[in-house]
Amino acid sequence: MDFILDKKISVSELKEKINAFPKVDCFDEQEKECDACSGYGDVDFEFSHNGKDYESNQDCPVCDGSGVFNTVSKQPNGKKELDYNKFFGIGNSVFNVLRIEELLQVAETLKSDEITLVNQTQANKASLFKIKEVEVLLMPTICNDLSNVVQNVA
């Protein structure tokens, strides 16, 4: 991709916007043993016909054979994470905020205080960023509801 833009984005500004990004509570995941099969994942079935008994051992229908249920704690565990249902706009494109965190990680690793947007054409095409000598290509996300784009730069 050609370098057609030279739009500087300050890493500290990006960090501030990430810090101000909406956050949600984190919950602990818990594994609960299926009480129908006691965690074995299979159960015995019996069937009688014309005085003859039939038996078979099959996947537990309650837990679908997994033996456990994954449940999420009712109480938040005190940690917070970014609300990944919300988006971050750069220029004309909208990104999953996870991509922005990755971009910041690259900038931090390279000890750069600036990220340059060097190629962006349409909102549905990849954007090319340059951090020092490293080029980072980010794919935008489809976002039909612009009210979910809660932060943006450039």
Residues within the interface to Zn ion (CB under 5 A): 34, 36-37, 60, 62-63
Least Å from the CB of residue 127 to Zn ion: 47
Instruction: Provide, rounded to whole angstroms, the least separation between the CB of residue 39 and Zn ion.
Output: 7
110: three-class secondary structure by DSSP: coil
Smallest Cα–Cα separation from 91: which of 146, 18, 154, 7? Answer: 154
5 or 63, CB closer to Zn ion?
63
Is the distance from CB of 149 to CB of 89 less than 8 angstroms?
yes
CA-to-CA distance for 16 and 10, rounded, in angstroms? Answer: 10
| Closer by beta carbon to Zn ion, 60 or else 115 | 60
Specify the residue, 42 or 83, whose C-beta has the smaller distance to Zn ion.
42
- C-beta of 1 vs 36, nearer to Zn ion: 36
Which are the contacts of 152, defined by CB distance < 8 A and separation ≥ 6? Answer: 88, 89, 90
* CA 6 – CA 129 distance, rounded (Å): 10
- Exposed, middle or buried: residue 125 (CB in 10 Å: 0-12, 13-18, 19+)? middle
Return the number of the residue (27 or 40) whose C-beta is nearest Zn ion.
40
Please, are residues 130 and 116 in contact by the beta-carbon 8 Å criterion?
A: yes
